[in-house]
């Protein structure tokens, strides 16, 4: 199966190393037109989401995400020069790449149109950068980091957007490398137990897995120290992902709280493509970039990453002529006045006999009218009335990042939201 089947015949590695502007805009228009055409099939990509696909924030020199990615690349170039760096701005992948090939069970919630964006039966917006791993490995790249935009239908609040960015890393160890590394130093405290409590990939020896996990732990520890400071406290815990075993996640203690930053593990045997020499083992990790940038720079609202306001952009514009020093990399965002919020409630009856109610449908509908002017949507009431009808009330908070909204503007958006709820959510009747 080729990458983003049918959209691009070239090798994925070749494609990613070239300027992506033209290709990415083709994808954006493909997504937009499919979003419109696919209504009624399985397509559920809204225009608000399609518009995000073309923004390519990682390429924007005034985006903190661009700087974080640059910092990660510089760290790998200095400490792990064998790693190739890719950026992939084309989020359309196949359902096979995103789920099947990564061994997600058939009933995994991510596969549903409630949680993910589909263009049609076969194609979707990737929900994680792990969807890219196999195609890159299949091209013979053994060690790499890759960053890109990922999409998930989600709640609306200051830390969640349906689009965000992830960094993914992979390192493959051939049987020769595994054999040569048997003289490994003792593993850091806790790691031995974490590994001992989990299965190893089919055909792998425990010693080889210890070697790979030790290398993964060291690589991630150095990356966290580079991003959060040498002395940053870290803790590791066992977890599960469909495609790794053993699996672990890392948290760092920063600004007085533990922050979950990476998921990682040793890839299960079927994840390695056939071109990888038999007997190889690989570690992989995934990290969310917004979440790291938000704590590093004290960015209070995830919508700011998408702001075009000069007062936002100026704060992350590269310093003229100067090199990026440590202090610059960690500078705190200075909020430029917060504009007043305007709240509006919407209440409706839900007839579950007609259709199950999915909150994510409501959130996408609101976003498709309000886009980034909606700050949060919260359920504030739910009850069953005397006639057995279920009623729900949601509070929508509107707030612009860069201007004061007027009541008239908000009323117009709210009217459009109400009209859409009435016409497009099955089983829902406005109160």
Interface residues with ligand DAH (CB under 6 A)?
128, 130, 168, 241, 244, 263-265, 284-286
**Is 356 buried (19+), middle (13-18) or exposed (0-12) by CB count in 10 A?**
exposed
The answer to whether the beta carbons of residues 147 and 167 sit under 8 Å apart is yes
Q: How far is the CB of 284 from ligand DAH (least distance, A)?
A: 3
Q: Do residues 15 and 8 make contact, with C-beta atoms less than 8 angstroms apart?
A: yes
Residue nearest to ligand DAH (CB): 286
Question: In terms of CB distance, is 208 or 284 closer to ligand DAH?
Answer: 284
Go through 31-58 and write b for each residue having 16 or more CB atoms within 10 A of its CB, e for each that does not.
bbebbeebeeeebbbbebbbebbbbbbb
Comparing CB distances to ligand DAH, the nearer of 56 and 165 is: 165
Q: What's the closest the beta carbon of residue 263 comes to ligand DAH, in angstroms?
A: 3
Coil/strand/helix, residue 43: coil
**Structure token digits, residue 287:** 């990290």
Residue 130 vs 315, nearer CB to ligand DAH = 130
414 vs 374: CA distance, rounded Å = 11
Contacts (Cβ under 8 Å, ≥6 apart) of 361: 114, 425
Closest CB 212 distance from ligand DAH, rounded Å: 12
Nearest residue (CB) to ligand DAH, 145 versus 299 = 145
- Closest to ligand DAH by CB, 141 or 416: 141
CA distance linking residue 43 with residue 427, whole number of Å: 20
Q: d(Cα 152, Cα 166) in Å, to the nearest integer?
A: 12
Q: By C-alpha distance, which of 184, 192, 190, 261 is closest to 226?
A: 261
Least separation in angstroms between residue 89's CB and ligand DAH is 18
CB nearer ligand DAH, residue 43 or residue 263: 263
Phi and psi of 355, rounded to 5°?
Answer: -160, 145
CB nearer ligand DAH, residue 100 or residue 415? 100
Please choose, from the candidates 345, 366, 344, 343, the residue with its C-alpha nearest in 3D space to the C-alpha of residue 425: 366
What's the min distance (Å) between Cβ of 264 and ligand DAH?
5
Nearest distance in Å: CB 150, ligand DAH: 7
The minimum distance between CB 78 and ligand DAH, in angstroms, equals 22
């Amino acid at each position: 199966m080729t990458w983003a089947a049918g959209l691009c015949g070239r090798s994925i590695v070749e494609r990613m190393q070239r300027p992506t502007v033209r290709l990415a805009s083709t994808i954006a228009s493909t997504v937009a037109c499919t979003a419109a055409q696919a209504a009624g099939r399985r397509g559920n990509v809204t225009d608000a989401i399609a518009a995000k696909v073309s923004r390519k924030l990682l390429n924007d020199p005034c985006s903190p995400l661009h700087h974080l990615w640059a910092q990660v690349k510089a760290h790998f170039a200095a400490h792990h020069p064998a790693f190739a760096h890719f950026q992939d701005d084309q989020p359309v992948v196949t359902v096979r790449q995103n789920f099947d090939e990564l061994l997600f069970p058939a009933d995994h919630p991510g596969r549903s149109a409630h949680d993910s964006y589909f263009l049609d039966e076969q194609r979707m917006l990737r929900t994680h950068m792990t969807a890219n791993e196999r195609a890159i490995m299949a091209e013979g790249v053994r060690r790499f980091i890759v960053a890109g935009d990922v999409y998930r239908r989600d709640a609306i609040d200051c830390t969640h957007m349906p689009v965000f960015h992830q960094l993914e890393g992979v390192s493959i160890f051939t049987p020769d490398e595994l054999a040569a590394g048997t003289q490994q130093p003792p593993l850091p405290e806790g790691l031995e137990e974490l590994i001992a409590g989990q299965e190893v990939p089919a055909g792998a020896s425990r010693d080889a897995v210890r070697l790979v996990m030790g290398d993964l732990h060291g690589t991630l520890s150095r990356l966290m120290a580079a991003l959060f400071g040498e002395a940053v406290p870290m803790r590791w815990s066992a977890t599960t992902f469909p495609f790794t075993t053993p699996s672990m996640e890392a948290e760092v203690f920063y600004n007085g709280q533990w922050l979950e930053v990476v998921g990682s593990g040793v890839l299960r045997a079927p994840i390695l493509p056939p071109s990888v020499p038999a007997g190889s083992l690989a570690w992989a990790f995934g990290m969310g970039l917004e979440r790291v940038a938000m704590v590093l720079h004290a960015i209070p609202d995830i919508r700011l990453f998408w702001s075009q306001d000069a007062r936002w952009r100026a704060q992350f514009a590269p310093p003229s002529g100067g090199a990026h020093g440590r202090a610059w990399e960690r500078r705190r965002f200075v909020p430029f006045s917060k504009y007043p919020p305007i709240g509006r409630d919407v209440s409706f009856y839900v007839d579950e006999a007609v259709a199950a109610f999915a909150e994510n449908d409501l959130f996408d509908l609101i976003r498709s009218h309000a886009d980034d002017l909606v700050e949060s949507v919260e359920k504030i009431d739910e009850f069953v009335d005397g006639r057995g009808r279920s009623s729900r009330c949601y509070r929508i908070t509107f707030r612009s990042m860069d201007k004061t909204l007027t009541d008239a503007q908000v009323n117009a958006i709210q009217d459009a939201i109400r009209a859409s709820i009435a016409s497009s959510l099955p089983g829902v009747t406005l109160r």
